Every structure is written in C-alpha cells, then in structure tokens.
Amino acid sequence: MTDKKQANIPVWDVEKTHPDIVPALEEGLEEIIDPELGLNILQLGLVRNVEMKEDHAVVTMILTTPYCPYGPSMMENTRKKAESVLDVTTKINYGQETWDTSMIEEGLGDDWGLF
C-alpha cells in the first residue's frame, strides 16, 4: 500500500489492533478498481478506516465524487472483499470527508497532470 507518512493517508484502526491481517486486507482491497479512473481504491485513498469490532468489521470509505455512478457497486465490492478476507461480517460506512487529489498515492497524480 501507500506510505502512511503521506499527509492525507490515514492510519486504520485495524493497523493498531490487528496488524497481522493488514497485508491480506490491503492485497484484497487493491483488487477493487474505480472504473472511471483506473486506479484501485487504496491508490485513490478512498478507504479511510478499517475497524474490527467484537462481532464485525467496519470499513469507512469515501468516493471521489458524492454522486459517483459506480459508488454503490464499488462500496458493495469493498464490503464483500473485506468480509471475505477478514472472515467476519463487514459493514461499510460512508465517510464524511470530501475526497481531493492529495489522497492519491504519491506520484500517481503526476501521470494525469493533476499536480
């Protein structure tokens, strides 16, 4: 995944509580691609948090635009993939942050002339 030292990349709660599952989770979530932008949801910084609760997991996710036509399917695919990797019921919370280009993995925005 990206370097968490980048300014706008959050440290997930699961990294502190269950660090052993993070690599598999990142690998799984990298398979979820934004069809319009061609980058995965981790490269875009859309997954803002992952928490393990007593009997379920919660993934907090945002979208690049509030009315992204692919948003519902990307969020459902994220839920299914996280649930499969974590082997626990998983819920998706739509985060309140507004996405911006500072959330893109460092160096990827250059290819688009965004920076």
Domain ranges (residues) in the chain: 13-112
- The DSSP code sequence of 49-112 is EEEE-SS-EEEEE--SSTT-TTHHHHHHHHHHHHHHHHTS-EEEEE--PPP-GGGSPTTTGGGG
CATH annotation of 13-112? 3.30.300.130
Q: What's the pLDDT score for residue 49?
A: 98
| Mean predicted confidence (pLDDT) in 44-57 | 96
82-110: per-residue pLDDT in tens? Answer: 999 999 999 999 999 999 988 998 877 66
